[in-house]
Amino acid sequence: MKKMDINNTQQLKKKIVIIMGSTGTGKSKLSIYLANRYHAELINSDKMQVFEGLDIVTNKVTEEEQLGVPHHLLGILNPYADFTIQHFCDMVSCALESIVSRGRLPIIVGGSNTYIEALVDDNDNKFRSKYDCCFLWVDVPMSVLDPFLSKRIDQMIENGMVDELRKMYDPTVDYSQGIFRSIGVPEFDQYFRNEPSLDKEGRATLLQKAIREMKENTYKLACRQLEKIHRLQDIKGWNIHRLDAVEVFQNRGKEADEAWKEFVAGPSVAILDQFLGNVTN
């Protein structure tokens, strides 16, 4: 395990890592790998994963997948709670202070790029004056990512997503509120609303419609996330390190694992070793 040298002078900015990428590209896997390597703690920047519940729908990492790495802002808010960009910035700032004070490296990871932008490029430049950021971008072309996202939703359904949604279904809920904004929740409204009055064929038709809409909206989300990253890089001038993960998605099994080590994990370690400067074994 590598650890930051915490004996930096007070004049130096505190170093943090921010992992970006479209949904489904493997940000969580990379963040946990790096956290174990660099004595780090993770801060979730997915605005839907901050809420309690709907773990399958929102693709939260399981306790087993976390491998003992501390996760902040993950599944902590009431599903109906209001969670604004300002709330996010305030909570992340508190988490950062806590992590840094214990001599650990903070890694922010998630797909809510608008929230990340608001955090990093605040109005008074307070964040950048305090923190030195290393941006990592796990990139997969949409032509390659799309079929994977479709299969991932099929797997979510196999894992019990429909029952999870049914337990949370509220016919009076405002779909602009809390966790109910998550992709997968409004898409299933008509299915659950009409389920009791439909025959088997009618239910199957509405179910397939809901799944199709969920897949379409997930694809649109991934496209928006990608466009946002390009805008941050090309227009705002963020120095974002691109990790080309296409080989990982074009292979299976051992070949995919080897590709991940070669094209994602390996380059990330090289970038962070240089970024962190003084690291000790």
Question: What pLDDT is attached to residue 139?
Answer: 98
CB atoms within 10 A of CB 125: 10
Task: Please report how the helices 266-276 and 27-37 are oriented relative to each other, as an axis angle in degrees rounded to 10.
Answer: 50
Instruction: Give the pair of three-digit tokens for residue 237.
Output: 């001038």
Instruction: Give the pair of three-digit tokens for residue 174.
Output: 């405002």
Residues 116-146 have pLDDT tens digits of 999 999 989 999 999 999 999 999 999 999 9
Query: How far is residue 133's CA from residue 15's CA, in Å, rounded to a whole number?
Result: 6
Instruction: Give the pair of three-digit tokens for residue 270.
Output: 């090289």
Residues 74-88, buried b or exposed e (16+ Cβ, 10 A)?
Answer: bbebebeeebeeeeb
Is beta strand 105-109 parallel, antiparallel or unpaired with respect to 40-44?
parallel
Question: What pLDDT is attached to residue 11?
Answer: 52
Query: What is the C-alpha R_g of the chain?
Result: 20
Contact (CB, 8 A) for 119 and 54: no
DSSP letter assigned to residue 263: I
CATH 3.40.190.10 fits 3-141+228-280, yes or no: no
| Closest to 217 in 3D by CA, of 167, 181, 168 | 181
Residues 7-52 have pLDDT tens digits of 444 458 999 999 999 999 999 999 999 999 999 999 999 999 999 9
Q: Write down the architecture of domain 145-217 according to CATH.
A: Orthogonal Bundle (1.10)
Question: What pLDDT is attached to residue 6?
Answer: 45
Q: Check whether 56 has a pLDDT greater than 80.
A: yes
Residues 157-181 have pLDDT tens digits of 999 999 999 999 999 999 999 999 9
Contact (CB, 8 A) for 48 and 58: yes
Residues 204-255 have pLDDT tens digits of 999 999 999 999 999 999 999 999 999 999 999 999 999 999 999 999 999 9
Domain ranges of the chain: 3-141+228-280, 145-217
Query: How far is residue 273's CA from residue 266's CA, in Å, rounded to a whole number?
Result: 11
Query: How far is residue 196's CA from residue 207's CA, in Å, rounded to a whole number?
Result: 13
> pLDDT category, 1, cuts 50, 70, 90?
low
The two domains 3-141+228-280 and 145-217 share their CATH topology (first three levels equal): no
